[in-house]
Amino acid sequence: MISQGSLGATRPLDWFHYIALGITVSIAGELPWGGWLQIPILSILWWRLSLLNTTQVLPHFAGGFLFGLAYFVVGLWWIYISLHDIGGMNAALSVAAVVLLSAYMALFFGLACAIAGKLRHTSLTLNCITMAAAWVLMEYLRGQLFTGFPWVGFAEAQVNGPFAAIAPLLGGLGSTFLVVWASMQLSGWRQSLLRATIPVGLSIALMLGLHQLRFTEAVASPISVRLIQGNFEQRLSWNPSAIQQQIRFYSTAIEQQAADLIVTPETAFPWPEKDLPSESLPKLRAFVQASHSNVLLGIIGVVPKANGDLRYSNRALGFSSTRNELYHYDKSHLVPFGEFIPPGFQWFVDAFKVPLSDFARGSMSQPPFQIERLGQNSIGAAITICYEDVFGNELASRIRRSETPVNLLINMTNLAWFGQSQAPSQQLRLSQMRSIETGLPSIRSTNTGITAVIGPNGRVLHQLPQFTQATLSASVQGFAGKTPFVIWGNWPILSLASLLLALAFFKRQRF
């Protein structure tokens, strides 16, 4: 006979609870203290799952899946804007695309809950570390399978929460582990308030101590930086006269004032390099030579194939007064559908009424851009384009394997695709987490916002308001050194999570 508790996640009232919790946790992540707020709300989720009173997989999976579905629909609704408002896709198909992507993401939440439910034990401590370990492993898989899409994880909200300090040691997944563990600890307050809250309080105190650790240090003198925010509508990117106006704006804005580093957003010049007005790049080179500036320009690059054909790339083109050759960084982690078409999905692209590209993929071992200054040491900058900064382990690997030191992170992006949504603030938090993980400052140059300068501790030092045409001028200090996360990547946290799950399995077999 099946108990009512074992069917708990299939009852309509429980569906509502899990969905409401998913919506609430997602909204909380967008608030100024979101990293703190998510923890007590998540504790309610774990309490609801504990009421199932069963180790059957399906009820736990269903609860985690419904939570995740609501969480991702709210967190990723801006995809609807790019598909419908800008891409011209049918509204119903656009909604379906958001829901299907969210459902796929939610599978990982459901699997984590199912694993923890299957290994459930009478010990709250063991249940806490089991859920945290399962969640971390599923989050890692979410960032790897089918090119990965680890957006709106719990880690990013920790830039405004208690557990960011673990990121230089164990990366964003380390922060995720502590969020899940702490929230599940709090879910046991009914059994013993002290046993539930004291470990969480001690862990937060430990984070205060970890905040004092420094793995990188300032190097050379600060550089002057100008970040240009053009605020051009995405729809204009397919209008030839509007494109020419955009090219003229960025060319003029670059030449208005010298700086050690001038950065434009992704595809500031939205035409292929070979099709640009003949005077565009020579004029920029002349300005660089005369002003001793360094410039990073977002452009559509041209990549020759072995058979003589040409492919295009999403490129950062670098100019330096001390080098004759131009620097190229071609985006290596491409966006499915936007920058390459997955096999079997041509029908989906045909429904999207804007030109899409099948870009060439850049190498994962491209060197950093060298910011040259007269009479001083150069500053090495690791570049990411668009959502590449969501993949912290890849960035850490690039810094670790670089033959020349990396002192600064640069992200060039164009979020005009997503209108007035939470996507810009979400990506800002991603850049903040990358700075915390690496101990290096970040600068972000965006088309519509949020253009910002971020310190090595993840704090936003300067930023421009969104949807304004402006230039952010600032002084940025480069840093040198490597955090443990840069040295080891995700291996320590993944090994720890695997060992804890193995321990939980062994304990469950004996139990």
Same domain, 294 and 319: yes
Q: Is residue 306 part of a domain?
A: no
Domain that holds residue 400: 217-298+315-328+365-482
Give one DSSP letter per residue of 271-303, joined into a string.
EEGGGS-TTHHHHHHHHHHHHT-EEEEEEEEEE
Q: Which residues contact 494 (CB under 8 A, 6 or more apart)?
A: 136, 137, 140, 173
Query: Packing angle between helix 167-186 and helix 124-142, nearest 10 degrees?
Result: 130
Q: Is residue 94 part of a domain?
A: yes
Q: Exposed, middle or buried: residue 374 (CB in 10 Å: 0-12, 13-18, 19+)?
A: exposed
Same domain, 477 and 499: no
**pLDDT for residue 347 is more than 60:** no
Same domain, 172 and 259: no
Q: How many residues does the chain have?
A: 511
Taking Cα atoms as reference points, which of 427, 429, 411, 451 lies closest to residue 230? 451
Q: Is 331 tagged catalytic?
A: yes
Banded model confidence at residue 6, pLDDT cuts 50, 70, 90: very low
Same domain, 75 and 178: yes
CATH number assigned to the domain comprising residue 456: 3.60.110.10
pLDDT per position as a tens digit, 99-108 = 999 999 999 9
Same domain, 117 and 230: no
Phi/psi for 11 (5° steps) reads -85, 140
Q: Is residue 446 part of a domain?
A: yes
Which residue of the set 255, 266, 273, 388 is catalytic? 266
**pLDDT for residue 7 is more than 50:** no
Same domain, 209 and 319: no
Same domain, 48 and 72: yes
Cβ atoms of residues 57 and 107 within 8 Å: no
Same domain, 228 and 196: no
Same domain, 198 and 277: no
Same domain, 191 and 291: no
Which residue of the set 118, 139, 273, 331 is catalytic? 331
How far from 201 is each of 184, 193, 198, 322, CA to CA, in Å?
13, 12, 5, 54
- Work out the average pLDDT over 493-511: 88
Spatial separation of the C-alpha atoms in residues 244 and 252, rounded to whole Å: 12
- Work out the average pLDDT over 382-408: 95
Q: Is 128 tagged catalytic?
A: no
Q: Which residues contact 254 (CB under 8 A, 6 or more apart)?
A: 228, 262, 264, 284, 287, 295, 297
**pLDDT for residue 486 is more than 60:** yes
Banded model confidence at residue 67, pLDDT cuts 50, 70, 90: very high
Domain count, the chain: 2
Answering whether pTM is above 0.85, one says yes
Q: Is 217 tagged catalytic?
A: no
